[in-house]
Structure 1
Amino acid sequence: MRRLPLFAFVSVCACSGPRAEQKMSFEELYSEPEPSTYRAPPPEPSAAPSGAGRGVRKAAPEPSAELQAALATFAERSKGFRRKVARGGTMPAGQAENWEQMNTLLDAFLARAVERTDARDVTRARGVLETELEQDGRTYGDMPGALAEAVVLRVGRLAVRMSELRRLEHPEGADGLPWLSWPVDPVTITSVFGQRWHPIRGEQRRHLGVDLAAKQGQLVYTAARGVVLRAGWNGDHGLQVEVQHDGRWLTRYSHLSRLLVEPGEVLDRGHAVGLAGETGLATGVHVHFELWRDGEVLDPLDALGDEEAPRPAAAPVARSGGES
């Protein structure tokens, strides 16, 4: 499976290309024999060698005793440093070094092939990082910005690795989820789905999607074929596009600086819906991406795949990130 680049340049262009002029209702669209966002049923077993092809694992990997021990040591040291500092105090240099050592070990762990990764290690590592990051945020008055960003990026990489593992076990969408393409390319996750300490409101809030780093004006693409339901301002989400897909699925793209589609447009996978920005309640330029089914929000990483949709070519530019 292709590894997702986390520190890279992106390609953007100033316009979305030709829009689909066709407009029709959702029912009309999907009454036609158009391609589905769902994958085809798994093919019949062939005579291919064992382990050949995507989604076949020769043997289940074992949990990493080294990683588990390192996580336990890291958490214990973190607690020790926090006991020595009054709330609101400065993070000790020892704790910053503790984080840097943990980041280095995680880089080595994530350098493994997906097939050699045990999901229990990923779950444990992500849980420890998120817990200790929140506890440090509550304890210390400040955490070095570069260090905080490095930790958040590794939490995102762990979330992507878990998504890759799910796809490896269920390559044909056997879990009932659609196959979605990434809204931006390449991918850097700056905030994952679930409970988190909100960076602006300073309180625990449920984060209903994933945040993806982007550059101001970078093109944002639809994750699957569908119909634009809404395109306009939506409170804290700023400029937002909402797309309904085959079945009961809906995706949302928030904090856009400009809209490139209108309600009723039929979009193919990979069609530009807008330009990245920081409209609404946001701490920086990024894309907040959500996945819904029948009014229930789901973790988009469970459905995002690694395949690429065709994208227009353009010159590479620098990038930045943020959170909502």
Structure 2
Amino acid sequence: MTHAASPPVPDGAHITICEVGPRDGFQIESTFIPTDKKIAIINALFAAGLRAMQVTSFVSPRAVPQLADAEAVLAGIDRPKGALITALIPNLKGAERAAACGVDAVHTVVSASETHNRKNVNRPIDASLKDFEAVCDLMLQKGIMVEGGIATAFGCPFEGVVPPEQVARIAKRYQDLGATAVGLGDTTGMATPATVRAAVQAIRAEAPGLGIGLHFHNTRGVGLACVMAGLAEGVTHYDASVGGLGGCPFAAGATGNICTEDLVYLLNESGYDTGVDLDAMITAAKLAQDIIGRELPGQVIKSGPRLRRYDPGLTATAAG
């Protein structure tokens, strides 16, 4: 099935970058990052100009010990004016905890792949969606937005191809539950420009008016190419992770998210407005790198902006 393409995002348009490093990036780290260090990284990211951030997840501490301090992190961060603070929630209990912390939006997750959903939350897809009825009812009562996440939206490491019609069916169900947007997760980096186009077009045909965000991993090196495909389809919301941190602990072959500073560089150099200062973003990435204690996979953190100048006197001259 084919669908008509949407108009591309025009030059100069504002692109929303949602920083997911404090959740998706931190969750896979085996050594616990002290709460005050998490808060320092988050505040540095806000200082760089980011205004949408998935700060933590209200999952069971047994499942993801790294995020056991969710309430303390949310209580300790500096919330800039106009910031959209979101948190990932797996169920109603998580939603109740998030609401008590004053988040602006919650992000739920169900997989488009039956096998991955059972691995990720030990539930069938339809049961997960049924569970989210109570979550959405509670959030709507409290005036908190719901963003419906769809993992393995572009392919599954267990099942292979995920039909775009399956992704669109889940998106429509989220819309019926009251979600304002869906986020398509490239859980193990299987997205290609072609699969991005197919999924976005299928959702727009099935659930008109539903917002779409794209969440890519850079497993096979085409994460930013997929962003360009999303822009060509008119998508203006992208998740990214500081330094390229991240990866799903319940998906074989998962690696880090697309890197926030690399995405900022691409978008700024392509004529879009992100509201993010690249130099300040690199500073925040270096802070995260120092705290985590290893070199992160992002590229711009190593090379800096394109027009950064160097002193010729400090550079070796070829002999001969």
User: TM-score, length-normalised on structure 1?
Assistant: 0.23
More helix by share: 2
Bigger Rg over Cα:
1
More strand by share: 1
User: TM-score, length-normalised on structure 2?
Assistant: 0.23
